[in-house]
Amino acid sequence: MRNTLNPVCVPLALAEFTEAHRRRIVDALLAISILCFTIPPTLLGLSFSLWGPVPQWIEIVIEVITAGALLIRRRTGLPMIVTSALCAVTTGQIVPMAFAAYSMTADSKIRKWQLVTLPLIMTAAAVDYVDPKTDDVLYLCVVRALVFIFMPALVGTWVRGYRGMISELRAEVRDREEQAAVRERRKIARELHDTVTHAVTVMVLNAGIIRDDADPETGRIATTIEDKGVQALAELRELLAVLRREDGSRMTAGAKAIPSLVEEAAATGTRVSLDYHLPDIGLPAQIGLACYRVVQEGLSNVRKHAPGSLVRVTCEARDGVVTVSVVNGRDEGRARMSLQRLLPPSGFGLAGLEERIAILDGRLERKGTPDGGFMLVARIPFHPAGAQAADDLAYDPADADEAADGESA
């Protein structure tokens, strides 16, 4: 049988892969560009060093190390700064230093970046002055070094500020959406209390009056009506409590409540294991709540559709992305079919979960596994609050203003 591939699925899968690994792809392309810019002059014999001829293989090794240091520039900027300066004095290539100057202000946590740019500028000026293909006017070499090193660093501070502003705006929008949802829940609760609850209460009271004054047969019917009305009132009170609680206990607990949720599922007979690696601090409250909802919905679906299967819950945060997965194997028992017949169909749980994840710029995957099971995976980007606080301590926007004033002067 011929295997046909849906042409629509290929671009979608490629777009999802690109979005999930965007930063790594960008860093890999930058590293490749560094190699393409530095290695050909070395192979053509156009490179030079400040202290005389250097073996070609040494130059290539230094250039490869410099490109590799670019791959970790988002974690720390020091390796790329050192390797780019070494590459400049060894091969005469100062382009990697421009990347290092930009990365140390846009991505890394270097406190006084102006002081770090001074040796880079001196190195670039010295390489430019010794370069046989350029003029030997020291003033012009210093000016070119300032433009080539200081300007990328200054642009990095602007990019950093822009990213921070976007993050603050997104957080503000999410807070407003959450507040709007809370107000809507309160409005629904008021309407239920003022209309439905009042009408049911009157019905129960009238049924009690009929029961006391009517014949036995009519009294039995009135008693049934009264019991059903009392039951409806109890359910309405529970619904009102849910609408007014604003997810208080679970909102404060967030991801920290996932282990207790898994323990509750295990206590009810679900064969579940937990692999939990989320940070104790730094995880935003809305993302923590979304992680909790993913696990809650996944375990609920397992109990409904595959109660006899083995379930594995995984929670981890890596490279600025929180990944939460609930994976269950195939249910070999017969309880699944009977339980499906007993439970009413819903279908709103996963739809609501997708909306919750989409608000946080994440995505939710739900698909079958090769062994006949099912997997629910949520990936949510985040910026740790602790890291943001550390950035604020390590980076002072006033430094950029002072640098800009100095440049203008």
Per-residue confidence in pLDDT tens, the chain, 409 aa: 444 445 555 566 666 666 667 778 888 888 888 888 888 888 888 878 777 778 888 888 988 998 888 888 877 778 888 888 888 888 888 888 888 888 888 876 677 788 888 888 888 888 888 887 777 788 888 888 888 888 888 888 888 888 888 888 888 888 888 888 878 877 777 777 666 776 777 777 777 777 777 677 777 787 777 777 777 777 777 677 766 665 444 444 578 889 988 888 888 778 899 999 888 777 787 888 889 889 988 888 888 788 788 999 999 988 889 999 999 987 665 444 434 443 344 455 677 788 888 888 889 998 888 888 889 999 998 875 444 433 333 334 444 344 334 433 3
Judge contact between 218 and 257, C-beta under 8 A: no
Q: DSSP letter at 322?
A: E
Give the pairing type, strands 271-277 and 310-318.
Answer: parallel
Strands (DSSP E) contained in 185-269 are none
Distance, CA of 259 to CA of 313 (rounded, Å): 10
AA identity, residue 203: M
Phi, psi of 280 (to 5 degrees): -70, -30
Distance, CA of 30 to CA of 73 (rounded, Å): 11
Strands (DSSP E) contained in 217-283 are 271-277
Find the length of the chain.
409
CA-based nearest residue to 298, from 384, 220, 375, 203:
375
Contacts of residue 46, defined as CB under 8 A and 6 or more positions apart, other chains included, come to: none
Give the pairing type, strands 374-381 and 363-368.
Answer: antiparallel
What is the sign of the dihedral through the CA atoms of 205, 210, 212 and 217? negative
pLDDT given at position 14:
67
Contacts of residue 201, defined as CB under 8 A and 6 or more positions apart, other chains included, come to: 229, 233
Specify the CATH architecture of the domain 250-390: 2-Layer Sandwich (3.30)
pLDDT given at position 194:
65
Q: In the sheet where 310-318 sits, what is the strand order?
A: 271-277, 310-318, 321-328, 374-381, 363-368
Judge contact between 267 and 228, C-beta under 8 A: no
Strand partners, 375: 327, 367
Distance, CA of 359 to CA of 304 (rounded, Å): 27
Judge contact between 222 and 211, C-beta under 8 A: yes
Distance, CA of 365 to CA of 72 (rounded, Å): 29
Give the pairing type, strands 271-277 and 374-381.
Answer: unpaired
Distance, CA of 364 to CA of 381 (rounded, Å): 12
pLDDT given at position 316:
92
CA-based nearest residue to 83, from 62, 56, 109, 59:
62
AA identity, residue 344: P
Distance, CA of 57 to CA of 35 (rounded, Å): 14
CA 11 to chain CA mean position, Å: 23
Distance, CA of 286 to CA of 313 (rounded, Å): 20
pLDDT given at position 145:
87
| pTM of the predicted structure, to 2 decimals | 0.47
Distance, CA of 214 to CA of 181 (rounded, Å): 47
CA-based nearest residue to 301, from 331, 258, 333, 263:
331
Pair of tokens at residue 291: 């992680």
